[in-house]
Homo-oligomer: A and B are copies of this chain.
């Protein structure tokens, strides 16, 4: 928290240090909140409509009355105030009696080129998210699985459901390429990723069929490549799972990633 950075709270520009919530409020204690993580590139807010639509869906799913906000103009206020060029932006709406909302930002989250060329290491982690299609404040499983990944020097954790199938990463969606098919969990079981929409569109443009079936970990070893996607990652190839090297084809993933990144600037 820098003294010079700002945030927006209920439409008002504040010091970031004042972007706080009181721990005695039941909705704060119970993660009764929804959020979105966006990107600003060259002062342009990427896929804002998709993000605000998903925010509405998330709020509806937990009966949180979303305030009417012109998110574009509010984010632009913050871009102007802090002279932001590129950034990761977070919208948070906490369901207090009159919902309290925040817009905060951090330096744009990017990853070294080597991650895209050489792939990243991931682990598997047993766990299912509550209300997987919603971005709510109920994020402990994401946090714990990611910390477990860190302890194993891995970049991401893949969540394995009660049937032993791979649903999604702690902060990403997951895909398996086999021949002319991209396999990924069905929509209703995972986060409706904004970048996932682009990945599947890119896959189709490149001639892949999409098979909406959650892959089993054992299928990884018979695949051509596996990868994850998120707003900050784009599409990122995986080179090992639970410490074991896996089939790896960074070019197949790069072809998808390059279309995804192109569309962000449109």
Evaluate contact between A27 and B137: CB separation under 8 angstroms. Answer: no
Please pick, from B7, B31, B63, B131, the residue contacting A138 in the complex, using a CB distance under 8 A. B31
Interface-central residue, A30, A63, A92, A127, by most chain B CB under 10 Å: A30
Evaluate contact between B130 and A31: CB separation under 8 angstroms. Answer: no
Q: A102 at the A/B interface (Cβ < 8 Å)?
A: yes
Evaluate contact between A62 and B22: CB separation under 8 angstroms. Answer: no
Q: A24 at the A/B interface (Cβ < 8 Å)?
A: yes
Please pick, from B7, B31, B35, B144, the residue contacting A140 in the complex, using a CB distance under 8 A. B31
Whole-angstrom distance between the Cβ of A243 and the nearest chain B Cβ:
20
Question: Which B residue sits closest to A148, measured CB to CB?
Answer: B63
Indicate with 1 or 0, residue by residue over A56-77, a CB within 8 angstroms of chain B CB atoms. 0000001100000000000000
Q: Main SS of the interface on chain A?
A: mixed
Evaluate contact between B31 and A137: CB separation under 8 angstroms. Answer: yes
CB within 8 Å for A23 and B92 given contacts A31-B31, A130-B130, A147-B63: yes
User: Interface size (A, Cβ < 8 Å)?
Assistant: 39
Whole-angstrom distance between the Cβ of A235 and the nearest chain B Cβ:
24
Evaluate contact between B26 and A16: CB separation under 8 angstroms. Answer: no
Chain multiplicity (copies)? 2
CB within 8 Å for A24 and B104 given contacts A30-B142, A140-B137: yes
Evaluate contact between A137 and B29: CB separation under 8 angstroms. Answer: yes
Interface-central residue, A35, A62, A139, by most chain B CB under 10 Å: A139
Starting from the known contacts A1-B22, A130-B130, 7 additional A-B residue pairs (CB-CB under 8 Å) come to: A16-B24, A19-B22, A21-B21, A21-B23, A23-B104, A31-B31, A31-B137
Interface residues of A (CB under 8 A from B): 1, 7, 16-17, 19-24, 26-27, 29-32, 35, 62-63, 90, 92, 94, 102, 104, 106, 127, 130-131, 136-144, 147, 162
Sample 10 A-B pairs with CB under 8 A, ordered by A number: A1-B22, A7-B24, A16-B24, A26-B143, A29-B35, A29-B92, A30-B140, A131-B140, A136-B140, A137-B140
